[in-house]
Structure 1
């Protein structure tokens, strides 16, 4: 073996440590630049799918009204005065299923019993893709009073603060309510200027059954949308309210599960205290419809999209409503016959 032969062999080319570090740094910078763009593209796709889901709800409503000559009720109750004796709470969601290519699920529902009944536990636990926004981070079923129920990200418009006046009380000013089926001809403000549905967050923290709201109890004198939540609703602090979650049961026709109200503008934070004393962004309903009227509630439209919520209007169009919409404009869009004049440039 020639010991001198290796000395004359040319050195192999390679990277120095500094060159390797420079390459790694460049790759890291490229990833940092590309990742937000990829995330933005994915969110844009999710928002498009969310818009399509609302359009499907709109088509379902229009087909339902063309067949039944009226829109579906947000639950069916019987009783007298403010006392409910029978609650059949099937939601608008459940009633339009066959018109959204979910006929098999609809046929599995026993409409003589509520979604929480043993007869309907299985169907209420089903996940319906059209009822879920792709941006929802926790679409897992929620544990309900009976068995397991599945969540939804869409609520139908069920009032401003005033939701239901009982069996002898006045009707609310919005598209949907218990024991009531409006027709499109009732939308005298114009279908294109009337909210029908909007997004909500699944498992939204909620105070309910507070025994009523001490300062919100007159349908003709409800708090303005510009007022401070804790000033007009001290019950946000807890007290005798039950702490639960809303938008956790697509089968339940009550406002806190399958509705929203225009009490506050989209994504408005209404911070109260949880039972443990921690601050939490809350929805609130003084008394659930199934417990008897009158019902006043703030079930805020919320979404996981930055800057606003997708909303369905009576004409079937879906528009992205920004968080900064003026409170009176949002309220006006929530009425079917309020007589307000709302310009298209105001939302």
Structure 2
């Protein structure tokens, strides 16, 4: 008699070599997809940052309609010799009612300094519209702002008081003779030393190029983490991503409100 024929064994698992091949393929796919995912996330953050500035632009126009001026860059700025009773409120604190933050505005006692104890809770409030999603969180005592008002520039001359957000002086649209669409108002200042929305030091004089590594970190400058440039709000309300390769003199010309410079439209 013939013996029974044995059936081949049925495998129910991967061999070690097959498992390693699958892991390698998955690793390659993840490596290919991860940069695309990161790029998509940064594109979304960049779009959100642009929208933040767009909303600030709308609020500035609403403020001007109500007060016939832009908000003062800083009220009662404190120099090193100034008494601590100087209030030092920023343009961004004045803008609160126009960015749907009326209740927060009402909590602030503007008759005392911004850093008075009675203002501590309100000042510590974080406002998403003042924060770039790409920026890193910082351990600040008060709510951070990644957007600063342009006081002026030192790229063309040594007169810095040529921008829109000055100390103790409010600018009107009619003062901007260079044209609203050719004058920068607010720019990203990610990681700056004075980046609190309530603090009147949230204005700055641009003295270097955008994202310039030579700029002292102790100064507020146009900086971002988007890479290759930064978001800037022009006072007419449009927002533009300005490349860091922009000529410094062109950048300075776009910051001044009445310098009468001629800037070609293809220069920025």
Residue aligning to 1:167: none
Q: Is the 8 A contact 1:270 1:283 kept in 2?
A: no
Residue aligning to 1:318: 239
1:10 to 8, 11, 24: 8
**TM score, norm. by length of structure 2:** 0.91
Distance 1:78 1:261, change over 3 A: closer
2:176 to 158, 169, 187: 187
Q: What CA distance in whole angstroms lies between the structure 2 residues aligned with 1:269 and 1:113?
A: 38
Secondary structure in structure 2 of the residue aligned to 1:158: strand
Deviations 1:59-94 (A, max 9, x none): 111000000011111222289xx9645522111111
Q: Is the 8 A contact 2:52 2:130 kept in 1?
A: yes
Secondary structure in structure 2 of the residue aligned to 1:42: helix
2:250 to 329, 332, 338: 329
Long gaps (5+) in structure 1: 143-147, 163-169, 205-244, 272-280, 285-298
How do residues 213-232 of structure 1 correspond to structure 2 at under 5 angstroms?
none
Residue aligning to 2:187: 198
Deviations 1:6-62 (A, max 9, x none): x82421134332222111111110000000000000000000000000011111110
Structure (1/2) with the larger strand percentage: 1
Q: How many residues align?
A: 261
Residue aligning to 2:211: 267
Q: Is the 8 A contact 2:152 2:160 kept in 1?
A: no
2:150 to 141, 151, 157: 157
Distance 1:305 1:177, change over 3 A: same
Long gaps (5+) in structure 2: none
- Spell out structure 1 runs of 4+ moving beyond 4 A: none
**TM score, norm. by length of structure 1:** 0.71
Residue aligning to 1:278: none
2:194 to 246, 256, 259: 246
Residue aligning to 1:172: 161
